[in-house]
Chain A
Amino acid sequence: MLEVVRHDVLIVGGGGAGLRAAIAAVEADPRISVGLVSKVYPMRSHTVSAEGGAAAVARDDDSLEMHAKDTVKGSDFLADQDVVDYFVQEAARELTLLEHWGCPFSREPDGRVSVRAFGGMAAKRTWFAADKIGFHMLHTLFQHSMRFDRIVRYDEQFVTRLLVDGGAVRGVAALDVREGVVRVFLGRAVILTTGGAGKCFAFTTNGNIKTGDGMALAYRAGVPLKDMEFVQYHPTGLPGTGILITEAARGEGGTLKNSEGERFLVTRDYGVGQKAELGPRDMISRAIIQEMMAGRGIKGPYGEYVHLDLTHLGEKKIDERLPFVRLLSTTYAGVDPVHQPIPIRPVVHYMMGGVDVDIDGRTLLPGLYAAGETACVSLNGANRLGSNSLTECLVFGARTGRHAVAYARGASDGDESRLRALGQEEAARIDALRGSRRGGERLAGIRHDMQHTMEQGCGVYREQPSMQETVRTLAQIRRRYAALALDDRSKVFNTELIAALELGNMLDVAEAVANAAVARKESRGAHTCFDFPKRNDQEYLHHSLVWFGEAGPRVDKKAVTITRFQPEERKY
């Protein structure tokens, strides 16, 4: 007999956005109970890996207008400006709450929270905790959430399906990783906060768990994904592993140098002007690739790289401000940044796109909400500024949590027997997949081929032939996925089964990315095409929507909200 668990609101994913949404939900209404369902223990969520900081206006030399303008310009004018206005206005309040809850922010001698410079930001407004803000933010939120008995955690429960009845979401089906059984979780509102999908690519900063689960859940339920073609390549990842070296390294004064020791962002025109290393991520990543194409990269065992030089900062500053960078560089690249430059190359880091939601986190499917990297609320447009995403998790996690509660109060439970039947169907699907030999295709091989074709077609620089080739290859890979051969028949902690389900999710997301990329015949933000090198506001100043279809994805458009900042040439 299928076990059924009931809460008012369900949150899928226990990272920054999910935990913030959970806290906001229980604070919004003393009668509301929240089920927090996560495929990992919340402190393992990938928020943990964020390093540099979180943005909010904090000083007299700064203003909300400046933060808004930087964000809109950084987005290459594809951010929705009403969303940006709300974001900059709430940012400091949210970071202040995080501070009250115990986050160990770095401090000035007078006791104020310190702020640092970040890429594309005109003033110092990035609050930080040395170079481990994500770790501290996640642990602070997780520990604070434990105060509330009405936040009930379901750890290591992998949500595989949204349960839709009568045109609204009424719950989810989740596989208990430890026991191998499927359970039905009923809730009148469901918030997706599962993070991004960097693992669709071979070379990424993202952890193993970032497989686009929430995006795929919504997409399969008929909710469009928005602006999926915009994949952020962070300029500074360690070759081989893809481990992130934070932008704070440049915020603190680090410089980028080519094989000739030349500080190319200063000596050559890459459009970043005086900002140099503190230009926005899309532009810096392009500059690095251009240097490599011009033969000024450095060859290494894991491909070409350039240098991130911190040696002039001195040991004291590095240990105080960038201790994690030193540890990562020493442990994973064998280079001590106090004495030697760090080898780095652009690496897939963040999905600007995600589940299409409005400013309240609402999707077009009643009862379904999303926040954080899973969602696309259109704060980031075509290129996100570093340190805006952690604040986004807080600002829109909280707002979405409150709106989901308001919706849940007025919504009905749906027909339990029908929802239970959907859960049974899902249990049968998973039982049939576990240890099944549908053909001879190996999981790791399919995943490898997907990750490599995504890199081929959807890299820093793109062009129609290779993007179209990736679309075709993904369609073949989907057929191969149907012929998967799995070995593990055990119910208990079957990570092969989990990986197979995750691969299915990633294939959905990858197809959405590649199809949206083919459809955008211009260069904007992180989507840069050799064959269409200019931004084209006449034809493409709009969001892309990708809809799931049995015959393949369908790409559509949606208007962008422009209020006070009119599109202009993006030059720094």
Chain B
Amino acid sequence: MSELPKKTFVITRFDPDKDQVPKTQTYEIECRPDWKVLDAINFIKDEVDPTLSHRWSCRMAVCGSCGMNVNGEPKLTCKTSLAEYGDVVEIEPLANFPIVRDLVVDFESFMEKFRSVKPWIIRAKEKAPEEGTCSQSPEELEAFRHFSMCINCMLCYAACPVVANAPEFLGPAAIALGHRYNLDSRDEGAAERNEIFRGEGTIFECSYANECSEVCPKNVDPAAAINQAKLLAVLDWAKGLVLPRKGGS
């Protein structure tokens, strides 16, 4: 068997027990031509340096665990071919999040934002299971379907220039999720969510950079969600001026 080409990986290391600031460590390993970036990291972890910490699980681009910055860009490492890169590959934790250790970031703030948009079906009267499923046409499904494909990998937060300056910004994935429920024909909670969206640090902070949609590994297009959400939130507000809100106090 012929020798495999070598690549050099420059990886962020940080252990809060020992380090004041993150540093880098360099590993040179042989790489199979069909490897993803994650395969190389796993090889280093198993065979070279067991003290390297990173998150991963499904290795099929659906669990959302293994987002990292690769040569400065947020990537889902299990989906990203090493062949796209040259001899030197820099791997850092996702930008715009505090580092816990090495390639592991703290995204508790995201989990709070996520819950704040009420990502569940809201109805004035809940349907009983005995009444059967809700009717929803393929067109009604299509209206929100691709906004429901977010795997919460947080690449969009790492890419977002607004999050970089204002970490409290609700951010692309959470807005897309709230908007997904607003567009669902089974849901009646749009008024509640629009009120959240009209608050500070939410949709109107977005600067149309579109970075979120460019890095999204699932083509969710959160930038489009934010634009649509802005329009709907404004319309909903205007409607509220002329008509008293349904069932409101």
Chain A residues close to B by CB (< 8 Å): 40-41, 43-46, 48-49, 93, 96-97, 99-102, 104-113, 132, 135-136, 139, 143-144, 146-147, 155, 178, 207-209, 240-241, 243-244, 324, 327-328, 331-332, 334, 443-444, 486-488, 490-496
Contacts and interface: CB of A to CB of B under 8 A. Distances in A.
B9 to A, nearest CB: 17
A490 B19 CA distance: 11
20 contacts: A41-B111, A43-B152, A96-B133, A99-B134, A100-B127, A100-B133, A102-B181, A102-B187, A105-B133, A110-B137, A111-B135, A132-B149, A143-B120, A144-B121, A146-B115, A146-B119, A241-B59, A492-B101, A493-B102, A494-B53
Contacts of B186: 100, 102
The 8 closest A-B pairs by CB, nearest first: A111-B135, A444-B46, A207-B57, A143-B119, A207-B58, A493-B101, A488-B51, A102-B121
Contacts of A143: 119-120, 177
Given A102-B181, A487-B50, A490-B17, A96 B129 contact: yes
Given A443-B50, A493-B100, A243 B120 contact: no
B134 A487 contact: no
Interface in B44-97: 45-47, 49-51, 53-65, 79
A492 B100 contact: yes
Contacts of A144: 120-121
Given A96-B133, A444-B46, A496-B50, A49 B144 contact: no
A66 to B, nearest CB: 20
Contacts of B120: 101-102, 143-144, 146-147
Nearest to A113: B133
Given A102-B184, A334-B34, A496-B50, A93 B129 contact: yes
Contact of B62 (A101, A106, A135, A334): A135
Contacts of A101: 120-121
Chain B interface size, as a band, is 35 or more
Q: Which label, helix, strand, loop or mixed, suits the secondary structure of the B interface? A: loop
B224 interface: no
Interface of B: 15-18, 34, 45-47, 49-51, 53-65, 79, 100-102, 104, 111, 114-115, 119-121, 126-127, 129, 132-138, 140-141, 144-145, 148-149, 151-152, 177, 181, 184, 186-187
Contacts of A113: 133
B134 A100 contact: yes
A560 B141 CA distance: 44
B187 to A, nearest CB: 7
Contacts of A496: 50-51
Contact of A48 (B46, B51, B62, B136): B62
A244 to B, nearest CB: 7
Nearest to B17: A490
Given A240-B34, A327-B61, A493-B104, A104 B141 contact: yes
Given A41-B111, A102-B121, A324-B62, 11 more contacts: A41-B152, A49-B63, A102-B181, A107-B141, A132-B149, A146-B115, A207-B58, A488-B50, A490-B101, A492-B17, A495-B45
Q: Which of B16, B62, B126 has the most CB of A within 10 A?
A: B62
A490 B51 contact: yes
A100 B126 contact: yes
Contact of A104 (B45, B101, B127, B148): B148
Contacts of B127: 100
B57 A40 contact: yes
Q: Which of B60, B138, B152 has the most CB of A within 10 A?
A: B60
A350 to B, nearest CB: 15
A222 B56 CA distance: 32
B57 A107 contact: no
A206 B231 CA distance: 42
A241 B127 CA distance: 43
Contacts of B104: 493
Nearest to A435: B51
